[in-house]
Amino acid sequence: MVFPYSDNKAAKVRIGGEKKFKSEGDWNASPMLFGQDKFPAGGNTIVVVEGEYDALSAYQMLGVRKVAVVSVRNGAGSALKDCKANYEYLDSFKHVVFNFDSDPSGVQAQAEASGSPSRSISGRGRIPAGCTRRGNTSKGHCA
């Protein structure tokens, strides 16, 4: 799966079915969030998630409501850096909602990224414990 960044100047490529990635193109050309080029600044609501698949899924769920959805570039570990690099863009929205995975690194990254003094941080989403993606849980199912 190929996830294009920065108006196709760079891409993150998922290798096989594992969580292994490589980058192609000029990855450092722009610190844009995944999907940022699809949503102009200044909208009503933006949701920031932890990964590209999460962004695609969230947009599919929320798209009819015209909600912008973007992802940090390299998962929880880069969330604070990515949000700081894109502060002006995120701050241009009336409402900013962070919704990262419920694992310890996702919870910590969400708290750090959403802890900015910006007036526009509207909330923090929460995924039920054990659910990171549909069917990916020790209980065998996430609805």
> Which has more confidence, 27 or 82?
82
Pair 110, 134 in one domain: yes
- 64 falls in which pLDDT band (50, 70, 90)? low
Residues 42 and 19 in one domain: no
40 shares its domain with 93: yes
Does the predicted model carry a pTM greater than 0.85? no
Per-residue model confidence (pLDDT) at position 122? 44
19/45 same-domain check: no
Closest CA to 68 of 87, 44, 100, 86: 44
Q: Which residues does 57 contact at the CB level (< 8 Å), separation at least 6?
A: 133
| Whether 6 contacts 30, CB under 8 Å | yes
pLDDT digits (tens, 9 = 90+) for 7-25: 677 878 788 767 777 788 8
- 85 and 134 within one domain: yes
Q: Is the pLDDT of residue 58 over 50?
A: yes
β-strand pairing of 68-71 with 45-49: parallel
Indicate which CATH number applies to the domain containing 122. Answer: 3.40.1360.10
> For residues 59 and 56, what is the distance between their CA atoms, to the nearest angstrom?
5
Q: Looking at the 3D structure of the chain, how many domains does it have? A: 2
Question: Greater confidence, 85 or 25?
Answer: 85
- Confidence (pLDDT) at 5: 78
C-alpha to C-alpha distance for 61 and 86, rounded to whole angstroms: 24
Domain span including residue 52: 31-143
